[in-house]
Amino acid sequence: MDRLTAEERIRVLREQIEKHNRLYFIEDRPEITDQEYDMLMRELQDLENLFPDMVTPDSPTQRVGGEPLPFFEKVEHKTPMLSLGNAFNEADLRDFDRRVRQIVGNQPVRYVCELKIDGLAVSLHYENGVFVKGATRGDGQTGEDITQNLRTIRSIPLRLTRPLTLEVRGEAYMPKRAFEKLNKEREERGEALFANPRNSAAGSLRQLDPKIAASRSLDTYIYGIGDLQGETVESHSEGLNLLESLGFKVNPERRVFDSIDDVIEFTNSWTEKRPQLPYEIDGIVIKVDSYAQQQELGFTAKSPRWAIAYKFPAEEAVTILEGIEVSVGRTGAVTPTALLKPVSLAGTTVKRASLHNEDIIREKGLLIGDHVVVKKAGDIIPEIVAVLPERRTGSEVPFQMPTHCPECGSELVRIEEEVALRCINPMCPALIREGIIHFVSRQAMNIEGLGEKLVAQLYHEGIIHSVADLYYLHQQREVLLQMERMGEKSVDNLLAAIEASKENSVERLLFGLGIRLVGAKAAKVLAEHFGHLDAIMQASEEELTRIDEIGPKMAASIVNYFALPQAQAVVERLKAAGVNMTYKGVRIEGGEDLPFAGKTIVLTGTLASMSRQEAEEKIARLGGKVTGSVSKKTDLVIAGEKAGSKLEKAEKLGVAVMDEAGFLQMLNERSTP
Ligand code: IVH
């Protein structure tokens, strides 16, 4: 096919696909079968493969999610993304109505009522009808650029029905069914569960890898215009109709009323109907319809005077406390969890509730077999709010907190003023196992495919004894293959994920070691400051406390930890396995004057005087960040012997090049170890 014909066919295909997308994902009335849709997509994909320069960001093929990003860019909101004042009852709503009428005088007031979708606010920018940028709300002034992730949401049009330039705002959310399915899969893989659909939507959109967002069945409802060029709209309801006609998904349950009584009735009716919706709502948003009146009403410091959010009362349900499970965490803390007869609450099935500690059980006088009231307010994990003693039958039994560790049998202790009981046996299998689970978790070494269940299995079968053993697992391929549900492919994937984690910047390792009081943030600060794990291990308490964010308790905990021979042995084995020990991010604090501060550097060819890993470490210590390929964003290429295409590309792009001698001279000047 020649270029011109291809170009035309690509245009037609995109238009058709976008139309069928709209019919399927927005209007819920598909006109073609899935197979027919797939055929259109395949034809477009084939043509784009033939003519890759014709791929544009608004092509429907781009919804699958491209390459992961290193970080999110910041986006300033031209008009701030405000939040709303709350109303909790009828009286609050009548007060709101009174305030509105006082300001607008004797004119009639109309209110638009909309469902308050429980997801996260997003802002979408279109230029000449093409989706160009999308951002989170952030602090209201500045959000994060999550365009790549938003592009994967099918209900966000990549091209509007008319070439308008505008910014719209709405809510990205995860439907209840998708949420339950996701959590079920996560449970099977032994991964941490999301507390509610809102967290899972937010978690999905804040992933740097857009393929994750693409796999998460997210959806949107658009509820407002931030900025519109070349067109005027008189009222909010008219604006919503315009948005709908442009191809946005606008919630159909919106209504316009002219009295507060009708508004109140609407809120009451949704309090009842809310569980039947396929998505979560946490209230009703009430907005003055007329834009002229909105302007007259204006804003307070935090929110508009022309709108308010009515919040539903927290949902409660009665169920039976069937048992109490006691588990030991990585710090040895023993926590009881209530096992409940499954009950449906705010759209999800509740089976467990945290009891935090023993005192709560005593305070509430809980007996096993009791009828209890469970509540889930907003994003809070379900909790037991009350016991119903009047419903006791006499068969209920008191719960006894164990005196000995359920896993290793050693006596539990209560440390100083802490409420929690702890197992303090450092060899307790629960502590070690939970420590490994923490090490591989997302915020730490982030080893994909190594969930809680698999870690527990590897540990209990004696295949691993410590975190360091993970990096020697490739020597036990045959043993892994013998394990249940471990085929060639899953073993290869697992080993590849472990191998890849060796390259992590050192703060992940530091956090993963699970040193008491050292959270992810402190680990980052330490890594940034010291640049190398050795330097952290050698630091004294005084040196550590000199850093702003590090207090004396944390400093003591770090020094004590690295003084332990077991800790040193683990680090030695990790090092021997090739796990990176350096900070790879851009150094910020105290590092501004380093020669490579903030610079992106590419290494190419072979260096005679050191290995690649050594060179990377040295660059990191000088404040630089090493990346794999040369682009306009590269600041410097360090070229060794037999440097090939990367050097050529650097020269073509005019990127600075340094040879090994120059690099060594720089190192000498800075006398890095
Ligand atoms: S209007 C200035 N309409 O609720 C008014 N917000 O505190 C901006 N939300 O973060 C909000 N559904 O993300 C509006 N139909 C709706 C909404 C809605 C959900 C969220 C929004 C915002 C929060 C308001």
Q: Hey, what are 445's tokens?
A: 């070494």
Q: How far apart are CA 265 and CA 263, in angstroms?
A: 5
Which of the listed residues 77, 79, 82, 83 should we mutate to test ligand 1's pocket, taking the one with most ligand atoms within 8 A of CB?
A: 83
Asked if 392 and 367 touch (Cβ cutoff 8 Å), the reply is yes
Percent of the chain scoring above 90 in pLDDT: 60
Q: What is the pLDDT of residue 619?
A: 85
Q: What stretch(es) of the chain map to CATH 1.10.287.610?
A: 3-55
DSSP 637: E
Give me ligand 1 centre to Cα 98, in Å.
22
Collapsed DSSP state (helix, strand, coil) of residue 335: strand
Q: What is the pLDDT of residue 190?
A: 64
What is the rounded average pLDDT of the residues 558-565? Answer: 95
Q: How far apart are CA 293 and CA 310, in angstroms?
A: 20
Which homologous superfamily does the CATH classification assign to the domain defined by 429-501? 5' to 3' exonuclease, C-terminal subdomain (1.10.150.20)
Q: Which is more confidently placed, 513 or 194? A: 513
Q: What stretch(es) of the chain map to CATH 1.10.150.20?
A: 429-501, 506-576
Which CATH architecture does the domain made up of 506-576 adopt? Orthogonal Bundle (1.10)
Q: Hey, what are 56's tokens?
A: 């544009």
Encode pLDDT of 123-165 as tens digits. 999 999 999 999 999 888 999 999 999 999 999 999 999 999 9
The answer to whether 575 is a known catalytic residue is no
Q: How far apart are CA 283 and CA 467, in angstroms?
A: 46
Give me ligand 1 centre to Cα 226, in Å.
12
Which homologous superfamily does the CATH classification assign to the domain defined by 591-671? BRCT domain (3.40.50.10190)
Encode pLDDT of 306-317 as tens digits. 999 999 887 788
Nearest to 151 by CA among 78, 86, 62, 220: 62
> Which class is 104-260+278-306 in CATH?
alpha beta
Which CATH architecture does the domain made up of 3-55 adopt? Orthogonal Bundle (1.10)
The catalytic residue among 19, 116, 584, 599 is: 116
Residues near 294 by beta carbon (within 8 Å), at least 6 away in sequence = 236, 287, 288, 304, 306
Encode pLDDT of 430-488 as tens digits. 999 999 999 999 889 999 889 888 999 999 999 999 999 999 999 999 999 998 888 89
What is the rounded average pLDDT of the residues 371-397? Answer: 84
Q: How far apart are CA 318 and CA 446, in angstroms?
A: 38
Q: What residue's CA is closest to ligand 1, atom 18?
A: 116
The atom number, within ligand 1, closest to the CA of 83 reads 7
Q: What stretch(es) of the chain map to CATH 2.40.50.140?
A: 314-424
Give me ligand 1 centre to Cα 426, in Å.
49
> C-alpha 503: how far from its chain's center?
22
Give me ligand 1 centre to Cα 220, in Å.
12
Q: What is the DSSP string of 285-334?
A: EEEESBHHHHHHH-B-SSSBTTEEEEEPPPEEEEEEEEEEEEEE-TT-EE
Which of the listed residues 136, 255, 256, 285 should we mutate to test ligand 1's pocket, taking the one with most ligand atoms within 8 A of CB?
A: 285
Residues near 65 by beta carbon (within 8 Å), at least 6 away in sequence = 148, 149, 151, 152, 209, 210, 211, 212, 213, 214
Encode pLDDT of 52-106 as tens digits. 999 988 899 988 777 777 778 889 999 899 899 999 999 999 999 999 999 999 8
Give me ligand 1 centre to Cα 254, in Å.
13
Collapsed DSSP state (helix, strand, coil) of residue 581: coil
Q: What stretch(es) of the chain map to CATH 3.30.470.30?
A: 104-260+278-306
Residue 270 confidence class, pLDDT cut points 50, 70, 90? very high
Tell me how many helices (H) and strands (E) the chain has: 24, 24
Torsion angle in degrees (nearest 10) through CA of 595, 601, 605, 608? 20
The atom number, within ligand 1, closest to the CA of 307 reads 5
Cα 615 to Cα 502, 503, 610: the distances in Å are 16, 14, 6
Which homologous superfamily does the CATH classification assign to the domain defined by 314-424? Nucleic acid-binding proteins (2.40.50.140)
Asked if 333 and 422 touch (Cβ cutoff 8 Å), the reply is yes
Q: Report residue 124: phi and psi, to 5°.
A: -120, 130
Nearest to 471 by CA among 442, 500, 493, 438: 500
Q: How far apart are CA 106 and CA 311, in angstroms?
A: 29
Give me ligand 1 centre to Cα 421, in Å.
43
The atom number, within ligand 1, closest to the CA of 114 reads 15
When the pLDDT of each residue in the chain is averaged and rounded to a whole number, the result is 89
CB-based pocket (< 6 A), ligand 1: 82-84, 114, 116-117, 121, 137, 171, 223-224, 285, 304, 307, 309
Which of the listed residues 116, 124, 173, 291 should we mutate to test ligand 1's pocket, taking the one with most ligand atoms within 8 A of CB?
A: 116
